Structure 1
Amino acid sequence: MPEVALRHRFGRHGFALDIAFRAPDSGVTALFGPSGCGKTTVLSAVAGLLQPQEGRVVVAGTTLLDTHAGVSVVPERRRCGVVFQDARLFPHLSVASNLRYGLRRAPRDATGPAFEEVVALLGIGPLLERRPGRLSGGERQRVALGRALLSRPRLLLMDEPLAALDAARRGEVLPFLARLRDAARIPILYVTHALEEVDALADHLVLLDAGRVLAAGTVEELTARTDLPLAARRDAGVLLPCTVLGSEAGLTRLGFAGGVLLATLEAGPPGTRLRVRVRARDISVAIEEPRGLSTRNILRAVLAQILPTGDGPEVFLRLAVGESTLLARVTRDSVARLGLVPGLELWALVKAVTFDHRVIAAGPSPAPDTMLDSPA
């Protein structure tokens, strides 16, 4: 399990970093937070590109940095594959030669996907003879991912790899990132300030602010908390792990630990596992069973808590739907008018058309992965 603990200050009165966290042995750990919170500084220290004043970094049982013990492995021996915002490919080499450069850097006894496997994984076979100048931004990033993976790293470090791409190119690269995550079976530290990338890729989440760790845990756990900055966003809501059950009247049936949701788009064949973001502002509640509505998703729930959103006119309702939790955002007036109190049985209403964006889902699955996200 990768361990990271770092302390560093830039100048006497400059930015100060003081963080510590652990990440799972495989999958994506997203470092998420606003610009300037220290995300890239963490990656630089882990990769050995920054020597912190105090720190300890352990990956796969190997100590890469321990300032108290006087250990600091040089960057080229840390076996960290790094992918930056810009692909940083060698412009005078073909795609194939760029990829083989990564393979030449791999230790002789290291194991990992072969050249042909990585090419197939990232769909870059038709690009092998081209040079980087003839590639789109999305294609360059896929090649950079392949080069990093072929170096057989202990750890992959990705510093906002999609930030320089437009929406179309981001949509192109996301599925390949998910494939790489599932094929690599190594820990990945992924820096981003885009929540949609967290939803799509991350298994574990580390929330940073002003050089400190606010919280760390699974994405599902942290999105359900109302005491974190995520809850202040207009797209705040929970992520529900779901499984495609089939279709009904042209709608996709999604099973989750609490019932069934209906969505308006096809999300793959039965058995496909996915995550659904259910935004708090897209849920309304009723104290009597609704009838004669166009809304298809009417879920029995118990009001677990009423939680403040700040000093404004809204509150969060934490709803227990079977074993799952939903968050609804309503006005204080609605709470008073409906007489809402913890323990009350309710009906939660979610429109099927809420789920209209498709990107690749996080988490390994034997079936094709999809994720549905409510509109921004």
Structure 2
Amino acid sequence: MRRRPLHLSPQVVDPVGGVVDVPIVAVGAALATVLAVTLTALHWGEVRLPVAAGLGLVLVLAAAIAMLAATVPARAPFTPERLGLIVTLAVGAAVAEYVSTAGANRFLYDDFGALVVGLLILSLAPYCTWVSLVVAGVLATGVSTILVLGTAPTTATHAPVISLVAVNAAFILALTAAAAVYSATVVREVLAWQRESNAAMLRRDAVRPGLASAPPSRVSVLRSEVLPFLARVTTAEHLSRADVDRARELAEALGRALRAGVEATWLDDLAASVRRAHGTAMRVADHAGDARRLDDHQRAAITALLSRGSAIRAGRRGWVWRWRGRPGRRTAGSRWPPRRTRRGVRAGVSSIGSWRSRVSWGFAHARSRRGRM
């Protein structure tokens, strides 16, 4: 499967750039509208059908509004159908202008049709592929050429028809070429930068220790599996069937990690943070999910209790403590830390009488005496 980067649009490869380019579209729409109104006023003496002239201005305004609405970031991405609609409205305005001056159009330089079409195509360069821009420009040039052939007999210059066609088509083709070159250049440069940065990331990760020992999680799956795979794919020129299968496997692994993250509670996160901070092996037994119903005060008490116990474990040989909560009861049993520690955590434990979860962890070399609150 061969990738075709030049068939991408600048907005697709650089979405932030598409947001920044919105003012360019507004300026292009305003210039097209002002240009149509000004040129119509300048050759008003040649107008034979004012209704057709007014319709041409309305179509230009409609094309400008459609362009503004189609490039709003909330409606991204920009599609070729939107480009076709905008160019069709602009070409319709050119046809209406031709009808309004039929038989009386002495000069072609004051007609706004070709200028408006080319200007609108140029304004949409950050949102379209170079292929769609070229196709739209060529089709618009064909329609404009037909209009010039119909106007040539009434012109005052008596120039060869081929010259009139070439001059009129130059407006559209030049602006279309500029838009296509801009689109292709931006896409090529952005993809080249992405390949270089991804290759650098792969080289950096190759010399760093892996994360195989870490438990599977959203972060570990993304960092150790998904991101390197995406970096390699964006750097490669071809996609194989194995790449497709690998992408499917990574999607399933990430889905499992996401589901595990949704099912985890704040208590699991607390146990993980304590384990990382103090090296304390902890196990949370909360099959009914009662930890989710604890209020802020109860959570603060549990956090203080576990943090204090882990800190003691970090500086002493250790102790074993088990706490089992039941509705309406406050029981603490097994082996407690020294008396001064019990006084520090007594208030926290007494506020968790409604907690039904069971939290337990163990340490070797326990040397404490049994106690009771």
Q: TM-score, normalised by structure 1?
A: 0.23
More strand by share: 1
More helix by share: 2
Q: TM-score, normalised by structure 2?
A: 0.23
Structure number with bigger Rg:
2
Point out which structure has higher relative CO (alpha carbons under 8 A, 6+ apart): 1
